[in-house]
Each structure stands twice: as structure tokens, then as C-alpha cells.
């Protein structure tokens, strides 16, 4: 429950002392401030400190990766205890490595469900998936022998009137590349398909980041609208109290005009916030391949999220888990196989065949008992012009060098983005702590004191209204800071590749 909902604006003059409660406040806004011998201020300070603890950051609950081992070991009873001790030690060491992304599914189940829908329905992911499957289908195409050649011949005008051989002949020829060429082609195409698969994983991470960021934008708008609506209710209660004071000549007409202006300002703020929902909601539904006007379920409370890793650990995880590096590794393997293929294409290729020439089966043949003649054939393709193959080899070498610089650039870019996300997270944490522990509680306390002073006729009403506006701005700023903090964590999760890879068994 927001501390603003428990705030009291005591505007009437009473004779019963500090124990009396403002009758204008209804429901949860009735906050009974206990006064002790030290006065009303001490009671407000004590309650403000109690309320400030309600903004404590949420703890991170680990979430299992649900990865079962593919191997089973048979362990003797004597060694079972030893291996169990080692397993427990490994679990204690590895378990913290998964805490960065554990909060999302536990804290926001709606968002987790939206991510699942997006992984199944997003058109871009589906297109990349089918493109990857199409790349796999090229492997059997490049890894098979060329089709054999069959030739059929018939001699229409033989040189001899009674030739020894017949006019009909059939031959077949099969070409074979150099040893290992077909396997090299298969490996090169397999590496190319794996690069496309890692590209799919990278886009999935970016899509998850965009979905979560948009979802928090919607949650921010809904929370701001909720705070503004509750503030309007509070202002209306204040307006009724000012009207009573105006009727008794204890307040001027200017006070009524000011509070009416504040109410209209809040209504306009709510309308502006509501107008922002539709376009953001349409963008969110587009990620899920749904109609743009589909309702999106958000959260009523945006929680704080912390990072349990040191900066060096996060950098190492980025370099180990980010699929962009996996894509570069697959491309490097493809280029290495391409260079090997250029060398093998420069080697000779062979052909083996057979030719069958039919006998002359005519009635007047000189050799009626002769049979068909069978001849074996062999051919060799000699690559004499080497400039073509040398250029292919140099091309692959230059592309490998270019890939080394691309990997260096990717590392620099991802590390710099990580530094920016960490700085954004630290800044939002400091701002959230300042707002939760200092600014908002003190603004509530000051508003309580000014309300009492105004009721006693010691301060002007515009001072109370100005502080009311400042408190509203602080609460809206607090929502923005919490959203900024969550977005920083989302950016870090994207950089460290904190998402399961796209399933290769998907249909």
C-alpha cells in the first residue's frame, strides 16, 4: 500500500488536541497519528519511518533451469558419499551463477507468459527459424556426389559395309572429387547453418528485451494513472473542507479557485497518460502477433531488482554466453572450411566409367558368334590455371582477418553497453533509496505539519497545495526510477544471454 494513501490532511480546528482525527478522510486515508508527550511531530516522524520500510528491495529467488543430465553414472556405495560431497560443493558454487535472471519469472508471472507466447508466435523469430531449417537442407545437397553421366550412341553411316562392331553403344561415367572434399562442403554448410541459429538466439534476446521494456512502460503508465486518480480523490476531500471554511469566512475564494485548478490539472494529466497507452499497447501486441487492441495485463507494484554479480564476473559471462560470440565462432569455422575447400578444389578430380559396344547381329555378318565389347574408362581433371583457387584461398583468409576485428568490435561494444547498464542501475538504486527513505517520508511529514498549520490559520493555502504537488511529483518520479532500474537489469540480462536458446526440435 502506498504511503500516500495513509496521509492525513487535518484541516479543521479542534479542541481535543492531537488525538483528534480529521473527519474528512475516508477509508484507508484515515491515518491515526499517535501523539506522545514529545508532541505531534514525533508521532509523524515515527510513522514516516515505519512507512519508508515498505519500499525495501525484493529478494531474488533462484529459478531452476530444468536441465536434466543426459548421462547416468553407477557409483559404488563406498564412493557415493564422496561424490555427493563434491556435487554439493559444485551446486553451492554454480547456483549463484543463475541468480541474475531468476527474479523475472517469480516476480512477474504475466510477463513470463508473454515471453513464452512471443517465442512461439513472433513472426520474425518464426522466419529466422525456417531460414535456419532451410540452411540445414543445403547440407545433403553439397555433400553428395555429382550425378553420373550416361551416353547412348548409334552410328548411322558406318565406314565399312560389314563392320565388326554394331552401330549401338552405351557408356556411363561417374566423377569423384578429391578425397575429403564432400565432407568439407558439409562441414562448411553446417557451420553456416549454426551461424544462422545463433543469429536467431541473438534476435530472441533482443525481442525479450523489447517486450519487457514495453511491458514496464505500460506498467509505469498504469501506476501513474492510479496515483493521479487517488490524488484527485484526496484533492476533492480537501476541496469540501475548504468550502466549509469558506462558508464560515475562514478561507478565501482564491483557495477554492486554486484547488479547482489543481483538480483540472490532474484530470488533464490522467487523460494524457491514458492516450499514451494505446500506441505502446499496439507495439507490445505486435511482438506477440496479436491484434493491437488486445488487453495487456501488467503489475500493480513494480519491485526493485538487484544484481548479485561483480562487474568482472558480468564481463566474463557476456563473453561466454552472449550468442553474438557464438555466431562469430560459427562464421569462423565456416570460413576455415571455405579455405580448406579452396585448397581441395585445386586438387585433381577423377572419373571412372564403362562403355559397352554392341556386336553386329546382322544376317550377313562376318562374325556371327562375336559378343559385345566392354571397355573401361578413366578421366582426370587437372586444375592447371591456379589463379582461381589461389584467389579463393586469399579471399577466405582476408575474411577471417576481418572476422577477428569484428569479434574485437563486438567485445568492445557489448562491454561498453554493460558499463552503461550498470551505471544506470546504480544511479536508479541511489535515486530509489533517496526517494523511499528521505524525500517522500519527509514530504509526507511536512504536508501533515502544514495541514495542521493551515487549520490553525498560520500558513497560506497555496503553501499546502504546492507541497501537495511536490509530493505527487516525488511519487511519480519514484515510479519512473523503479522502471528505470528494472530496464537496466533487463539490458544486463540481454547482454549476458540470460535466456534459453531457441529449441531446435521446434516444428
Cell of 9: 490532511
E strand or H helix that includes residue 244: helix 181-247
pLDDT at 21 (0 to 100) = 37
d(CA 23, CA 470): 24
The angle formed by the CA atoms of residues 46, 52 and 57, to the nearest 5 degrees, is 150
The predicted pLDDT at position 359 comes to 63
State the pLDDT at residue 476. 96
Give the contacts of 471 (CB within 8 A, at least 6 positions apart): 4, 440, 443, 444, 447
Q: How many CB atoms lie within 10 A of CB 455?
A: 20
User: What is the CA 196 to chain-centroid distance, rounded?
Assistant: 18
SS3 271: helix
Task: Give every residue of the chain whose pLDDT is below 50, as ranges.
Answer: 1-99, 101-106, 362-365
- Count CB atoms within 10 A of the CB of residue 3: 21
Q: Report pLDDT for 149.
A: 92
**Angle, CA 163 vertex, CA 159 and CA 167 arms, to 5°:** 85
pTM given for the model: 0.73
Provide the 3-class DSSP secondary structure of residue 180. coil
φ and ψ of 291, to 5 deg: -60, 145
How high is the pLDDT of residue 360? Answer: 56
Q: Determine the pLDDT at residue 64.
A: 34
Query: Per-domain residue ranges for the chain?
Result: 3-61+77-144+178-347+391-495, 145-176+349-382
Phi, psi of 354 (to 5 degrees): -145, 145
Predicted local confidence at residue 353, as pLDDT = 95
| The CATH number, out of the four listed (3.30.70.60, 3.40.190.10, 3.40.50.300, 1.20.1600.10), of the domain defined by the range 3-61+77-144+178-347+391-495 | 1.20.1600.10
The continuous run of DSSP H or E covering 91 comes out as helix 77-94
Instruction: Please report the pLDDT score of residue 31 as a whole number.
Output: 34
pLDDT of amino acid 407: 96
Amino acid at each position: 500500500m502506498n504511503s500516500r494513501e495513509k496521509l492525513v490532511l487535518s484541516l479543521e480546528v479542534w479542541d481535543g488536541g492531537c488525538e483528534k482525527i480529521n473527519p474528512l478522510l475516508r477509508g484507508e486515508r484515515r491515518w491515526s497519528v499517535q501523539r506522545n508527550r514529545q508532541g505531534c511531530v514525533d508521532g509523524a516522524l515515527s510513522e514516516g519511518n515505519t512507512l519508508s520500510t515498505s519500499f525495501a528491495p525484493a529478494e531474488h529467488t533462484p529459478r531452476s533451469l530444468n536441465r536434466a543430465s543426459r548421462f547416468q553414472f553407477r557409483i559404488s556405495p563406498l564412493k557415493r558419499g564422496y561424490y555427493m560431497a563434491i556435487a554439493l560443493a559444485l551446486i553451492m558454487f554454480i547456483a549463484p551463477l543463475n541468480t541474475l535472471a531468476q527474479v523475472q519469472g517469480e516476480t512477474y508471472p504475466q510477463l513470463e507468459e508473454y515471453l513464452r507466447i512471443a517465442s512461439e508466435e513472433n513472426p520474425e523469430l518464426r522466419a529466422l527459424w525456417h531460414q535456419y531449417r532451410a540452411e540445414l537442407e543445403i547440407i545433403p545437397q553439397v555433400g553428395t556426389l555429382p550425378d553420373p553421366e550416361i551416353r547412348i550412341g548409334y552410328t548411322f553411316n558406318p565406314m565399312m559395309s560389314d563392320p565388326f562392331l554394331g552401330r549401338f553403344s552405351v557408356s556411363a561415367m561417374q566423377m569423384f572429387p578429391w578425397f575429403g572434399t564432400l565432407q568439407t562442403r558439409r562441414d562448411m554448410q553446417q557451420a553456416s547453418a549454426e551461424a544462422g541459429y545463433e543469429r536467431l538466439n541473438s534476435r530472441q534476446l533482443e525481442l525479450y528485451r523489447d517486450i519487457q521494456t514495453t511491458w514496464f512502460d505500460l506498467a509505469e503508465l498504469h501506476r501513474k494513472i492510479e496515483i493521479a486518480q487517488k490524488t484527485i480523490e484526496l484533492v476533492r476531500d480537501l476541496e469540501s473542507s475548504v468550502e466549509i471554511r469558506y462558508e464560515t469566512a475562514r478561507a478565501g475564494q482564491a483557495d477554492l479557485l486554486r484547488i479547482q485548478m489543481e483538480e483540472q490539472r490532474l484530470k488533464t494529466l490522467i487523460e494524457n497518460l491514458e492516450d499514451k497507452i494505446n500506441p505502446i499497447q499496439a507495439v507490445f501486441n505486435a511482438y506477440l502477433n496479436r491484434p493491437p487492441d488486445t488487453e495487456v495485463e501488467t503489475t500493480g507494484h513494480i519491485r526493485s531488482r538487484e544484481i548479485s554479480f561483480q562487474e568482472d564476473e558480468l564481463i566474463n559471462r557476456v563473453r561466454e554466453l552472449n550468442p553474438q560470440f557464438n555466431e562469430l565462432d560459427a562464421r569462423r569455422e565456416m570460413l576455415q572450411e571455405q579455405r580448406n575447400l579452396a585448397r581441395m578444389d585445386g586438387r585433381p578430380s577423377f572419373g571412372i566409367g564403362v562403355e559397352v559396344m554392341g556386336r553386329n547381329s546382322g544376317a550377313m555378318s562376318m562374325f556371327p558368334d562375336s559378343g559385345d565389347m566392354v571397355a573401361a574408362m578413366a578421366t582426370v581433371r587437372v586444375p592447371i590455371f591456379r589463379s582461381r583457387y589461389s584467389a579463393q584461398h586469399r579471399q577466405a583468409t582476408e575474411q577471417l582477418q576481418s572476422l577477428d576485428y569484428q569479434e574485437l568490435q563486438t567485445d568492445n561494444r557489448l562491454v561498453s553497453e554493460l558499463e552503461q547498464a550498470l551505471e544506470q542501475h546504480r544511479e536508479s538504486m541511489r535515486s530509489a533509496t533517496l526517494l523511499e527513505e528521505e524525500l517522500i517520508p519527509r514530504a509526507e511529514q511536512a504536508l501533515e505539519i502544514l495541514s495542521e498549520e493551515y487549520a490553525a490559520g498560520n500558513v497560506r493555502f497555496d503553501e499546502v497545495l504546492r507541497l501537495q504537488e511536490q509530493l505527487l511529483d516525488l511519487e511519480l518520479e519514484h515510479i519512473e526510477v523503479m522502471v528505470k532500474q528494472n530496464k537496466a537489469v533487463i539490458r544486463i540480462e540481454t547482454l549476458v544471454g540470460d535466456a534459453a536458446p531457441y529449441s531446435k526440435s521446434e516444428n
